Amino acid sequence: MEQPIRVLVVDDQDLVRSGFKLVLLSYDGIDVVGEARDGEQAVELAARLAPDVVLMDIRMPRMNGIEATRVICGDPAFAGVHVLILTTFDFDEYVYDALAAGASGFLLKDADPDEIVAAVRAVAQGDALIEPSITRRLIEAFVASRPASSLAMKGSRTAGFESLTDREREILILVARGLSNDEIGEDLFISPATVKTHLARIMAKLDAHDRAQLVVLAYENGLVKPGYRANAER
């Protein structure tokens, strides 16, 4: 039998944590291994419990969800731990910051149980950008609203970006436009497995935690302009 997906639920409200726990435990193949009420506790429990997915609230005392996400996604010791941001609003600047910090996507707190579980399963498998049209719209809005000087990559990421091959750059653009691996393979006449191999190399070069962070980087560096629609040329 497959191992259950191990989930850590993080929220400063007891009722919210209990609600998510009850929902998740009502589905097969998911185990809630811990609960945390702030970012510091989330980091501590993630290190001790090694969950597959952290459901992370944004606004919490001591350490907020963005800082906790940055710690978890930026430390190789947490390899294999994916963060799924919980938010009340689908158009929230803090969600953009969390994606930039390495979160795999975000989930509205009022999502129905099937959506919650589908999101957890997708993130646990390494997929990202839950509800991609909404996430893409959010990224576009906040990249467009911020000064270009505040969005440029620095240091190793700049060097990594310049080291991308033409094919890798092409794939990065298609990822940012919201295409799946299968769709990218169809467009470029390569297999989805080959796309996956290219993505792994792109992530390594750009020091990106996952697919969501690649989208942020592509928008921030002008590969895809705010306002673009993925289906415009399809």
Instruction: Specify the pLDDT at position 229.
Output: 46
Task: Please determine, for residue 123, whether its predicted confidence score (pLDDT) is greater than 90.
Answer: no
Cβ proximity of 142 and 121 under 8 Å? no
Per-residue burial over 44-80, b if 16 or more Cβ lie within 10 Å, else e, is ebbeeeebbbbbbbbebeebbbbbbbbbbbeeeebee
Q: Which long-range contacts (CB under 8 A, 24 or more apart) does 120-127 make?
A: 120/5, 120/7, 120/24, 120/30, 120/53, 120/55, 120/84, 121/5, 121/29, 121/30, 123/53, 123/82, 123/84, 124/5, 124/52, 124/53, 124/82, 126/82, 126/210, 127/211
Task: Please determine, for residue 153, whether its predicted confidence score (pLDDT) is greater than 60.
Answer: no
The predicted-structure confidence for 83-92, as pLDDT tens digits, reads as follows: 999 887 655 5
The predicted-structure confidence for 127-138, as pLDDT tens digits, reads as follows: 765 455 555 666
Residue in 4, 7, 9 with CA at minimum distance from that of residue 29: 4
Task: Please determine, for residue 1, whether its predicted confidence score (pLDDT) is greater than 90.
Answer: no
Q: What is the mean pLDDT of residues 53-71?
A: 93
Residue in 42, 38, 43 with CA at minimum distance from that of residue 61: 38
The predicted-structure confidence for 94-121, as pLDDT tens digits, reads as follows: 767 777 788 888 888 888 999 899 889 9
The angle subtended at Cα 131 by Cα 125 and Cα 133, nearest 5°, is 130
Ordered structural domains, the chain, with CATH: 5-130 (3.40.50.2300), 151-233 (3.40.50.2300)
Instruction: Specify the pLDDT at position 165.
Output: 94
Per-residue burial over 152-163, b if 16 or more Cβ lie within 10 Å, else e, is ebeeebeebbee
Instruction: Specify the pLDDT at position 155.
Output: 47
Cβ proximity of 35 and 66 under 8 Å? no
Task: Please determine, for residue 149, whether its predicted confidence score (pLDDT) is greater than 70.
Answer: no
Q: Taking all residues of the chain, what is their mean pLDDT, rounded to a whole number?
A: 82
Cβ proximity of 224 and 218 under 8 Å? yes
pLDDT: is 143 or 150 the higher one?
143
The predicted-structure confidence for 179-203, as pLDDT tens digits, reads as follows: 888 889 999 999 989 998 999 899 8
Instruction: Specify the pLDDT at position 12.
Output: 95
